[in-house]
Copies of this chain bind each other. A is one copy, B any other.
Amino acid sequence: MKFTVSEIAQMLDGTVVGNDQITINSAAKIEEGLPGCISFLANSKYEPYIYSTQSSAVIVNKDFVPKKEVATTLIYVENAYTAFTILLEEYQKRLAGSKSGVEQPSFIGENSQMGDDCYRGAFSYIGRNCTIGKEVKIYPHAYLGDNIEIGDYSVIHPGVRIYDNTIIGKNCTIFANTVIGSDGFGFAPQTDGTYKTIPQLGNVIIEDNVSIGSNSTIDCATMGSTIIRSGVKIDNLVQIAHNVEIGKNTVIAAQSGVSGSTTIGEQCIIAGQVGITGHITIANNTKIGAQSGLGKSIKKEGLSLSGSPARDLNEHLRSMALVRRLPELEERLKDLERKQETSDFQ
């Protein structure tokens, strides 16, 4: 990063109070700032740091009124947090922009086409009949099978495996070594104890603005499609089974798993290491706490659930508090039993 405060203020539509000619070359938390860094102040809890920070500039909300003298340069904006994010994005974009063209050796099958200004890394493999939009980046060691579509501006990181017939929208990011479209786990028990593989003939559809972390797995549908709706954010090591559908803007944290044919609503928040059973439906805006196990459909929107089996968060907390106090409860029970015996005896 190398901007003057003045350039940054212009980019963020902000107003500078202090020296606008200082050069900024890095970003830091306000409490960890060093000369040359830019920080932001959005949460008033962190306000004390603005009077002592060594950062050369701090982005603040337009209604911020210092209570003491401030040594650093201030950039006043509509929303300090959003502005800071925009700045970092701009920085990242310029960094990422450095990758383009085709590195060799790389493999592209017949009838596959890429749009303008793409990057295709060394040792990347693209099968047949693939249609790839403009400014897409396919990093080294990425594998695309046949008949795949990828929308404009999407980024496929190193070692991602995308199976035949997958459709990925625009502005998607798939991080390293994630597997999209491998077979769903379907086996039919035979009378001799063996299992017969149920062919998995469907595909995976990922809409726009989806982000999927590293080493996750999204299985193709048995028939039809496994669907990840637009704006969904999935973390690392997450398992999405065949024929699952995940609604718009739902967020799933690391190491969670969703079993086959389950439909998750929009705007849900699923914490880490959650397990969700198959063939259920989860209403919009459901929140599921870490390590929960959800075994039943949730019909009412906006619930907060926790536990395994998962239930209302507050009820779960109440029960867990009593589990902790079980030794005490048993003592009280014993006490009553003793008194009862005594009274029987009298």
Contacting pair B333 A27 (CB below 8 A): no
Asked whether B255 lies within 8 Å of A254 as measured between CB atoms, the reply is no
Question: What is the minimal beta-carbon distance from A37 to any residue of chain B, in angstroms?
Answer: 9
State how many angstroms separate the Cβ of A160 from the closest Cβ of chain B. 9
**B141 to A125, Cβ gap below 8 A?**
yes
- The answer on a CB contact under 8 Å between A217 and B215 is yes
Query: Which of A28, A185, A198 is most buried by chain B, counting CB atoms within 10 A of its CB?
Result: A185
Report A138 CB to chain B, min CB distance, Å: 13
State the interface size on chain A (CB cutoff 8 A): 102
Residues in B whose Cβ lies below 8 Å from that of A277: 290
Q: Is the CB of A195 within 8 A of B332?
A: no
A177 touches which one: B103, B177, B185, B196 (CB < 8 A)? B177
Known contacts being A29-B223, A236-B217, is A194 close to B209, with CB within 8 Å? Answer: yes
Partner of A275, one of B143, B158, B291: B291
State which residues 41-68 of A face B: CB under 8 Å: none
Stretch at the interface among A9-17, A69-77, A87-95, A110-118: A87-95
Question: Is B327 within 8 A of A88, CB to CB?
Answer: no
Chain B residues with CB under 8 Å of A28's CB are 223-224
Q: Give the CA-CA distance A91 to B202 in the complex, in Å.
A: 13
CB <8 Å contact, A239 and B241: no
Beta-carbon contacts of A295-322 to B below 8 Å, as 1s and 0s? 1000000000000110100010011101
Residues of chain B contacted by A209 (CB below 8 angstroms): 194
Q: Which of A271-285 contact B (CB under 8 A)?
A: 272-273, 275, 277
A187-212 with Cβ < 8 A to chain B: 187-188, 193-199, 201, 209, 211
Instruction: Determine whether A329 belongs to the interface, using a CB cutoff of 8 Å to chain B.
Output: yes
Q: Which of B161, B267, B330, B343 contacts A158 (CB 8 A)?
A: B161
**Contact string, A168-190, partner B, CB cutoff 8 A, digits 1/0?**
00000101110100110101100
A105: chain B residues at CB < 8 Å are: 105, 123
Considering the chains assembled together, what is the distance between the CA atoms of A41 and B213 in angstroms?
A: 39
Point out the residues of chain B lying under 8 angstroms from A275, CB to CB. 255, 272-273, 290-291
- A78 interfacial by beta-carbon distance below 8 Å: no
Determine if B182 and A176 form an interchain contact, defined as CB atoms under 8 angstroms apart. Answer: yes
Known contacts A159-B177, A179-B177; A125/B122 CB under 8 A: yes
Nearest CB of B to A257, in Å: 5
- Determine whether the beta carbon of B187 is less than 8 Å from that of A251: yes
Cβ of A102 within 8 Å of any chain B Cβ, yes or no, is: no
Given contacts A88-B199, A103-B107, A336-B340, 12 further A-B contacts (CB under 8 A): A27-B223, A85-B199, A125-B158, A177-B179, A182-B236, A195-B251, A237-B257, A239-B255, A255-B255, A323-B326, A329-B333, A336-B336
12 intermolecular pairs with C-beta atoms under 8 Å apart = A28-B224, A85-B198, A125-B140, A143-B159, A161-B177, A187-B251, A215-B216, A215-B237, A237-B239, A322-B323, A323-B326, A332-B333
